[in-house]
Chains A and B, each alone.
Chain A
Amino acid sequence: MREGEADPCLYGYSPYRGRPKIEWPDGKTCAVWISPNLEYYELDPPANPHRKSWAKPHPDVVGYGHRDYANRVGHWRMAEMMEKHGFKGSVSLSVALCQHVPEVVANANELGWEFFSHGIYNTRYSYGMNEAQERAIIEDSIRTVRDATGQTIKGWLAPALTHTPRTLDLIAEYGLTYTCDLYHDDQPGPVSVGQGRLISMPYSLEVNDHYGFFIYNMSPRDYADTLIRQYDRLAEEGQKSGTVMCIPLHSYLIGQPHRIGPFERVLEHIAKDGRAWITRSGDIADHFLSHYYNRAEVLSA
């Protein structure tokens, strides 16, 4: 990005109307990916001068306990249900989970889920890092995920959504191909970086379970309806455009007893609809890079 400028120049302007179509495999109209955030939060993390980790003095028993619920209870519920309906996860991973609860990471890996980095811990923020420090967490992420799963990460979702002006340039330099931190489109598109090729992968804050339950205060059934409407619209429009729908989840939220049942209706709906390419973020990125990146780069130049 262009640091300090009013327009960070992350990408060129390319209107949705009249854009050439993206064809997904097998004539599918909407690429659907589920992104479970598999996270580890620390009980007593060091302070970042730019953002507080917990609302309460440490220990924030409710804040911490709520997140810890994911690794003891929620993940297992969510993962079993996804597997039942044929959804592989694309994991936004606090890579230190590989050390703390390797059982969760191994389970996701055995299920054929993809991993990308969501930082070391969700209680360590990038704000204020110098370049060497930021390189250290990227290198740590690549190494840790490779050691734990054999996978080479292709994507990045900034830890707790904290960025520096150099994050996107650096991840592209390390060979990562997609970022989940930009929310400007329902299709992938090129991102301007110093070197390498980087695309934006449509993630979602709007239909993220955290937003659904804590920003919009939806009931579990309302959230399920929201996801179904989001899908139905994107699948319909995708006949002309080729869309992406991400369902970002936190199992400490969606895996609660009053939410997991209503959520199953969403997976049933999408799985039986027939228009969805039910896939992983890295597969979407690979497909886009192979077939559309160069065209899109020209269009948005």
Chain B
Amino acid sequence: MSLDPVYLDYPHRKQGMDHDLYPWSNLFERSPLTWADGKRLLTWIVVDLEWFPITPTDKPFRAPGHMQTAYPDYRHYTSRDYGNRVGIYRLLDAVEKVGARISVAANGAIAQRYPQLIRDIVAAGHEVIAHSTDMNGTIASGIGKDVERDLIAGSLDMIEAASGIRPGGWLSIARSQSFDTPALLAEVGVTYMCDWVNDDLPYAMNTAGGRIINLPLNHEMSDRQILTVQQHSADSYCEQIQDAFAWLDGEAKAYGGRILPLNITPYIMGLPYRIGAFERLLGWMAAQPGHAYATGGNIVAQAAPQLG
């Protein structure tokens, strides 16, 4: 038995990354970022609004949270839609209590099907960013550049039609991209994407389609990961986020501005038995010195001129 000799060839084995998307960089050696009003830590809440067709297509893959039983899966279709009817309004009320402005990552289908919801979000001063078309709109290598380009354009169009604002941000389903995604997003003028979880601060990628900022939306601290995958309680989630807050705030004093990204799902955190813990967390954070809530667009607008 032996392996093909190319298995022991290492064509990219040289200083730097094994690709050209971005250079390596040490977080602790960068010029410190500063935030408006002398804030040290900005909490960036991203709420996903997702519509799962009861007919999953699985191309290129089935989205997390999608249908699980034999057709028709009423159980998951309806409990996901609970988030769009009830959970989101609980979350909107919760963030309103602390005056937080947030980013809402919406499927285009949400805007098309529930334009009232998008109007409510925009009227409250929140940012809507694009989150593909619907939960069958997953991206991975192999879907083809034209299909992907259409999917991105369709998503942006549907949201703009409901909100009146072309989204400046993008979140892929499951943060999954093809090799083309960063360039295709930059090409149509998307300012920032949230998919690459390799950093704690925004950084620039230079693509064939132009420059785009990656604003890392930490997946390990998402409600999906902590509550659904790891099956911790809402109280444990809050304790973990408070620990993260304390750590990042301490680091910010020495190394410059930090962000705390919280990816929240209405059908997970917006449940009656969890929302109270989340409200208490929001209140606790709001009371901390040097802290503010910010949208992704706002963070990127502050960071971009400082990124060089």
Contacts and interface: CB of A to CB of B under 8 A. Distances in A.
* Contact-residue size bin, chain B (C-beta under 8 Å from the other chain): 35 or more
B3 interface: yes
A contacts with B: majority SS: helix
B218 to A, nearest CB: 7
Contacts of A100: 13-18, 24
Interface string B256-287: 00001000000000000000000000000000
B15 A43 contact: no
Contacts, number: 148
A259 to B, nearest CB: 8
Interface residues of A, number: 51
A161 interface: no
Contacts of A136: 8
A171 B229 CA distance: 39
B64 to A, nearest CB: 11
A220 B240 contact: yes
A129 B2 contact: yes
B176 interface: yes
Question: Which of A44, A59, A101, A262: most chain B Cβ within 10 A?
Answer: A59
A112 interface: no
27 contacts: A43-B17, A48-B3, A56-B61, A56-B140, A56-B176, A61-B196, A62-B197, A65-B175, A65-B196, A66-B197, A66-B198, A72-B198, A76-B26, A99-B14, A100-B13, A100-B16, A103-B26, A217-B229, A217-B232, A220-B243, A257-B218, A257-B260, A258-B241, A258-B243, A258-B247, A261-B243, A261-B247
Interface of B: 1-4, 6-8, 10, 12-19, 24-28, 60-61, 140-142, 172, 174-179, 195-200, 216, 218-221, 229-232, 236, 239-241, 243-244, 246-248, 260
Interface of A: 40, 42-44, 46, 48-49, 56-62, 64-66, 68-69, 71-73, 76, 96, 99-103, 120-121, 124, 128-130, 132-133, 136-137, 213, 217, 219-221, 256-262
